[in-house]
């Protein structure tokens, strides 16, 4: 009987020790950030569940409080920044891939022209695919930059 009482008291004490402040309080801080082509945003939750956005372009920062009238514009800006980051990474990866194809083709040209003649269709196909994807990424970045510009100045005017 005495052992069971000690065991119960021990578990009650242990359960009280495991409850911390972070379990009882809600999160206050940065929710998400993004940065592309000079445009940036930071989504911050403050006390009393107030959501604010810090948006900027080339170092000029503006803090905007989220409300029902501007939530769609803020989300459009955030999505454009995130899409721009994706397109920029895609541009870099496929540009490096294209450069590797060129370097390998030059190596085979110098080393042995017979291998290059047999492998030239593969080089043309893979090079063409990479050029196509790089071109699409450039076009995506162009349209995203227009969307970012419009969204940024629209948010500043609200």
What does the pLDDT look like over 41-78, one tens digit per residue? 998 887 777 788 899 999 889 999 888 888 899 999 99
pLDDT at 19: 54
Please, which residues have CB within 8 angstroms of residue 90's CB and are 6 or more apart in sequence?
133, 137, 140
Model pTM above 0.85? no
Q: Which is more confidently placed, 99 or 30? A: 99
Please, which residues have CB within 8 angstroms of residue 62's CB and are 6 or more apart in sequence?
54, 55, 56, 155, 156
Nearest CA-CA partner of 56 in 79, 33, 84: 33
Reported as a pLDDT band with limits 50, 70 and 90, residue 24 is very low
pLDDT digits (tens, 9 = 90+) for 105-144: 888 888 887 877 888 899 899 999 999 999 999 999 999 9
Reported as a pLDDT band with limits 50, 70 and 90, residue 3 is low
Q: How many Cβ atoms sit within 10 Å of the Cβ of residue 137?
A: 20
């Amino acid at each position: 009987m005495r052992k069971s009482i000690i065991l119960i008291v021990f578990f009650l004490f242990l359960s009280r020790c495991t409850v911390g402040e972070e379990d009882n309080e809600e999160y206050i801080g940065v929710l998400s950030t993004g940065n592309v082509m000079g445009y940036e945003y930071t989504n911050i939750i403050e006390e009393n569940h107030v959501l604010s956005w810090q948006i900027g372009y080339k170092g000029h920062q503006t803090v905007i409080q989220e409300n029902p009238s501007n939530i769609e514009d803020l989300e459009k800006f955030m999505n454009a920044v995130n899409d721009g980051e994706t397109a920029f990474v895609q541009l870099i990866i496929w540009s490096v891939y294209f450069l590797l194809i060129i370097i390998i083709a030059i190596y085979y040209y110098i080393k042995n022209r017979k291998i290059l003649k047999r492998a030239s269709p593969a080089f043309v196909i893979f090079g063409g695919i990479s050029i196509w994807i790089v071109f699409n990424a450039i076009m995506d970045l162009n349209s995203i930059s227009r969307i970012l510009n419009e969204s940024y100045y629209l948010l500043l005017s609200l």
